[in-house]
Amino acid sequence: PAFTEALKKGTSGIKHYPELEALNFSCQLGAIPPLSEEKVTAYFSSLQLKHFQSSGICYGVIAGMDAFRDAGLDVAGKNESPLTNLGIVFGTGTSGVEKFREAIYKLDEGQVRRLGSTTVAQTMASGVSAYLGGMIGAGNLVTTNSSACATGTEAILMGYERIASERATQMLCGSTSDHGPYVWGGFDAMKVTTYKHNHEPHRASRPMSATASGFVPGSGAGAFLLESLESAQERNATIYAEVLGGAVNSGGQRLEGSMTAPNSRAVQHCIEMALQDAGVSGTDIDYINGHLTATVKDPVEIENWCAALGRSGTDFPYINSLKSMVGHCLAASGAVESVAAVLQLQHNFIAPNLNCEDLHPEISRCIDPKYIPKQYIETPLKTVVKASFGFGDVNACVIFRKN
């Protein structure tokens, strides 16, 4: 409920962090979910927390367990068989960077025996799915995917495909991202994060703006419990939306595609394949949750949406970017933004786009600015699309419909 209200009000979670300023970061801003000690201890045992330093695993476990409980499911008892029809696909980009840093220093000092017994579990990429799997007792596929900023959207589609192929009944799907200078420093060095508005945090993240100067790094996690329709109906589960279908692909880092830039034709093809897989047309889409990172590629993304949907001008659907409120959550972005998309679908509203009063002229030439709302609006929604485009020229697109 708090997240839904923040979406409606356009509440920014971006703050200035003196630690980044002290480290000479150009971008001294970030978006870090506030977690009290009381909140964390509700999910982890005191033994687990004794040497725990992975913010990404922490976020992923909280989001995953909240989704699992919200679905009305029970974990398997320690002396019971695992839940063979329930699996997990929970993605990440990095894991336990702070723990890894601590380990390096101890190793350099010849203190290998002081690394602790949780170093491997916190720093292995599959740490988040392993923790969740053990807490729930999942007995189906339990894995971690990693495809840069497309990770979360891809995870949802991997779970969807597992259920559609009748190899699982329920799949817990999502993605997470650590926070902090050791995760964000590389992006600062690449100069893809904004160096402006360090002392005006709420104005800093500016997707689709003519004065956008790069993204603000964020962190956190998002999660979904996917289930076959038959199973959900049998147990009278709350159904927020139906996954109609989707697609993943790569531009192969060919044409204008590269390690850091998308191949536009591949982006369009991914969206077109998602529409085909879902059995809908571009005219059926009521709302787009864009990738839109507040970089020079925002106008290109809008052009790709126009081409793939066959819609432009006053015929374009509503579009927004959650990144204007929470920054770019990197590997977690697809999952967090999909949660935002489904909440808007469920409650029939479009969240505002912050900081794009000065809409980029190339975007305003493509679509009517009224479909990029600056204020919260209520409107009936039935079919929505979420797409993510990641480093390595990888793409993922999922389509949700109100059940």
pLDDT at residue 35 in the model: 92
pLDDT at residue 281 in the model: 98
Q: What is the dihedral of CA 120, 126, 130, 132, to 10 degrees?
A: 130
3 Cβ contact list (under 8 Å, min separation 6): 339, 340, 343
pLDDT at residue 51 in the model: 72
- Asked whether residue 52 carries a pLDDT value surpassing 80, the answer given is no
- Asked whether residue 2 carries a pLDDT value surpassing 90, the answer given is yes
Q: What is the mean pLDDT of residues 197-208?
A: 98
How many of the other CB atoms lie within 10 Å of CB of 19? Answer: 11
pLDDT at residue 100 in the model: 77
Question: Hey, what domains does the chain have and what are their CATH numbers?
Answer: 31-179+218-234 (3.40.47.10), 242-401 (3.40.47.10)
Using a 10 angstrom Cβ sphere, with 0-12 exposed, 13-18 middle and 19 or more buried, the burial of residue 272 is: middle
pLDDT at residue 212 in the model: 98
pTM for the model stands at 0.96
Can you spell out the DSSP letters for 171-211? EEEEEEE--SHHHHHHHHHHT-B--S-TT-GGGT--TTBTT
Let me know: does 91 contact 145? Beta carbons within 8 Å. Answer: yes
Secondary structure E strands in 5-137: 15-16, 29-30, 86-92
**Residues 288-331 pLDDT 10s:** 999 999 999 999 999 999 999 999 999 999 999 999 999 999 99
- Asked whether residue 105 carries a pLDDT value surpassing 80, the answer given is no
Comparing 190 with 109, which gets the higher pLDDT?
190
pLDDT grade, residue 108 (50/70/90)?
confident
The b/e string for 96-111 (b: 16+ C-beta within 10 A; e otherwise) is bbbbbebbeebeeeee
pLDDT at residue 95 in the model: 84
Look-up: residue for tokens 């432009």? 312
H or E segment at 231? helix 229-234
Q: What is the mean pLDDT of residues 248-274?
A: 97
Q: Is 385 helix (H, G, I), strand (E, B) or coil?
A: strand
Look-up: residue for tokens 């600056």? 374
φ, ψ at 386 (rounded to 5°): -125, 130
pLDDT above 90 covers a percentage of the chain that reads 89
pLDDT at residue 354 in the model: 98
pLDDT grade, residue 279 (50/70/90)?
very high
**Residues 207-256 pLDDT 10s:** 999 999 999 999 999 999 999 999 999 999 999 999 999 999 999 999 99
Can you spell out the DSSP letters for 105-160? HHHHTT-GGGS-TTHHHHHSTTHHHHHHHHHHTB-S-EE---BTBTHHHHHHHHHH
CA distance 249 to 388: 11
Which of 354, 342, 366, 333 minimizes the C-alpha distance to 287?
A: 342
